[in-house]
Structure 1
Amino acid sequence: MIEKVNNTIGKIIMFVSTSMFGLMVLVAVWQVVSRYALNAPSTFSEEFLRYSLIWVTMIGGAYAFHLKKHIAIEMVVIRLHARSQRVVRFLAQLFLLAFALVVMVYGGIQLVSLTMTQQTVSLGIPMGYIYLSLPISGVLITWFSLTELFTRKNGAPQEQNETIQLKND
């Protein structure tokens, strides 16, 4: 059941981020055309691209966390015994969970509430909507972290979990 929920969340994230990225490409093309061909630069495109990149990065980062495709430094962990590796990974997962809850969710909600009255220059939307990507990705990371802690499974198939082994010469 949890795996189906995670797969559905993953599909939604992929759809949203892919759609957003496609729209970003179209807006970037429009920015170039309006600036160089029409000699009338678009006023909204640069701001739209900047804020869209924030959303794609935050949401995509949560999905990368789920698939274990983020940067991980395992140099010390892989040198430990199997039981010690499990303990260190469990503690790291707890730390990431606490970070997502405190900094991303709680801090993100505080930031959103502080910036809802400020508006963007060109688009005229509340800045809180831009910063809303932080608590949303924090909730996603919290969910993925909790499901991994309880099921001991992440979203990555076993053959995709890649670790670079350093050889001692």
Structure 2
Amino acid sequence: MLNTLVKGIDHAVKHLTFLLFIAMVIAVFGQVVMRYLFGTSVFWAEEFARYAMVWIAFLGASMGVVEGAHTKIDFFINRLPQGVKKGVFIFNNVLCILFLSCISYYVVAALSYTMGTLSPAMRIPMGLMHLILPVSGVLMSVYLLIDTYRLLRNQPFPAE
């Protein structure tokens, strides 16, 4: 069941990231074609591409948590006994979850202010742009909780 949940969330995040990337490429390509062939431009394309890129980066960061792909210095950790190594990984996960929870909490609190501010070109609430912070924070926290659960159940480390 846990694997099904992880796969389902991972599948949705990957598809959303892919769709945002395709939409960003189409918007930027359309902007270039319009500018150089027709001498006009799509006024919202640059802003959309910027916002899509931010969403892609944060969704990609959450996918990096699943894969264990984030940069880490594990030279000393790999030399520790298995039990201590496991404890270090669990402690690290708990610290990351606390950090992500704090960031998500304060961004959600600030969303009420930013939902009233509209973006210059697309005229969408800026809160939608900032919404990716708690979304990715919750995703990463869920992935870290699942990883911690796996560690406590003596299942293999993600990198192994």
TM-score normalised by the chain length of structure 1: 0.86
Name the counterpart of 1:65.
65
Give, in angstroms, the shift of residue 161 of structure 1.
Answer: 2.3
- For this pair of structures, how many residues does the alignment match? 157
Give, in angstroms, the shift of residue 88 of structure 1.
Answer: 1.4
Letter aligned with residue 127 of structure 2: G
Moved over 6 A (4+): none
Determine if the alignment matches structure 1 residue 16 to structure 2 residue 16. Answer: yes
Give, in angstroms, the shift of residue 22 of structure 1.
Answer: 0.8
Give, in angstroms, the shift of residue 152 of structure 1.
Answer: 2.4
Letter aligned with residue 42 of structure 1: V
Unpaired runs of 5+ residues, structure 1, are: 163-169
The alpha-carbon distance between structure 1 residues 128 and 140, as it changes in their structure 2 partners (threshold 3 A), is: same
Q: Secondary structure at the match of 2:90?
A: helix
Deviations 1:54-77 (A, max 9, x none): 111111211111111222221221
Give, in angstroms, the shift of residue 81 of structure 1.
Answer: 2.7
Q: Structure 2 CA distance, aligned partners of 1:98 and 1:46?
A: 35
Q: Structure 1 CA distance, aligned partners of 2:85 and 2:38?
A: 60
Q: Structure 2 CA distance, aligned partners of 1:112 and 1:79?
A: 44
Unpaired runs of 5+ residues, structure 2, are: none
RMSD: 1.8
Maintained 8 Å contact 1:24/1:49: yes
Letter aligned with residue 90 of structure 2: F
Q: Structure 2 CA distance, aligned partners of 1:48 and 1:62?
A: 21
Letter aligned with residue 65 of structure 1: V
- Aligned 1:20-99 pairs, distance under 5 A: 20-99=20-99
Maintained 8 Å contact 1:111/1:131: no
Name the counterpart of 1:161.
159
Name the counterpart of 1:166.
none
Q: Structure 2 CA distance, aligned partners of 1:140 and 1:3?
A: 15
Q: Structure 1 CA distance, aligned partners of 2:86 and 2:149?
A: 14
Deviations 1:82-125 (A, max 9, x none): 2222221111111111011111x202202322201000000000
Letter aligned with residue 116 of structure 1: M
Give, in angstroms, the shift of residue 146 of structure 1.
Answer: 1.1
Aligned identity (percent) is 26
Maintained 8 Å contact 2:34/2:40: yes
